[in-house]
Structure 1
Amino acid sequence: MEFLVASGVGVMTAAGIYLMLRGRTFPVVLGLAMITYAVNVFLFATGRLTLDRPPVLNGAEAYTDPLPQALVLTAIVISFGMSALVVVLALRSYLESGGDEIDVIGEAEVARRIERDGVSGPEARR
């Protein structure tokens, strides 16, 4: 069971990193979501994977630790807010530049500064 969960976390992390290294903003947002899901599963799995057991029992019997479950709930709320912020930033960037290519966004900003200030070369990139 642990090998299956560890493999799933590894695959989700690898997919998230691959997507975050893409040159467009939408795959970067998906990659960020994949990495947060991988971290949530990892945190949940640290509380010992036991089936059909309540979170805490009386005595010294084996129990499932409730702390990772609370951490996962907190991480889900934080990742939802972070994902909403990144989606809004990506949408704003798309509307400003007309595309979601990361290189195009930088070039559009440089072109806008050249038109506005009449400066070209390295000074426009500052």
Structure 2
Amino acid sequence: MELVLAIGIGVMTGSGVWLLLRPRTYQVIVGLSLLSYAVNLFIFGVGGIKRHAPPILPEGGIADPARFTDPVPQALVLTAIVIGFATTALFLVVLLASRGLTGTDHVDGREQSK
């Protein structure tokens, strides 16, 4: 399972960096989103991947902490998802305003000559 997670994080990071280097602002925003999702997966994976582990303490017993997943990375990822959604919405509003003012969606503000 760790290998699949590592490959997924690598593909998302590579795609995000590639899109960040594109000349259009919409592609840059999508690249930033992919990078934030890759970082979220990385943080989530740092917390430990456990399958078939109980999510709560057993009834009336003493729990072994090694059997449980750390909840702190899960809380951090949940917070990062909300913040990432808000910043993506802000970036899209700035993108639309910039396109309305300049008439182009290139990062540097001018069309490339062919």
The Cα RMSD (Å) is 1.6
Normalised by the size of structure 2, how large is the TM-score?
Answer: 0.85
Note the residue ranges of structure 2 that are not aligned, 5 or more in a row.
Answer: 58-62
Structure with greater proportional helix content? 1
Matched, 1:38 2:38: yes
Which amino acid in 2 is paired with 1:17? V
Give per-residue Cα distances to partners, 1:12-42, cap 9 Å, x unaligned. Answer: 0110010011101010010011001101111
CA positional deviation for 1:55: 3.7
- Mean Cα displacement is larger for which, 38-47 or 60-69? 60-69
Identity across the alignment (%): 48
Q: Is the 8 A contact 1:56 1:65 kept in 2?
A: no
State the alpha-carbon separation in 2 of the partners of residues 86 and 22 from structure 1.
16
What does residue 15 of structure 1 align with?
A: 15
CA positional deviation for 1:60: 4.4
Q: Is the 8 A contact 1:55 1:65 kept in 2?
A: no
State the alpha-carbon separation in 2 of the partners of residues 60 and 82 from structure 1.
36
CA positional deviation for 1:90: 0.8
Give per-residue Cα distances to partners, 1:53-98, cap 9 Å, x unaligned. Answer: 1345413442111111000001001101111111111111111111
State the alpha-carbon separation in 1 of the partners of residues 77 and 105 from structure 2.
31
Taking CA–CA contacts closer than 8 Å with sequence separation of 6 or more, which of the two structures ends up with the larger relative contact order?
A: 2
Structure 1 segments, 4+ long, off by >3 Å, are: none
State the alpha-carbon separation in 2 of the partners of residues 60 and 84 from structure 1.
39
State the alpha-carbon separation in 1 of the partners of residues 91 and 6 from structure 2.
28
Which of 1 and 2 has greater Rg? 1
Match of 1:83 among 67, 72, 88: 88
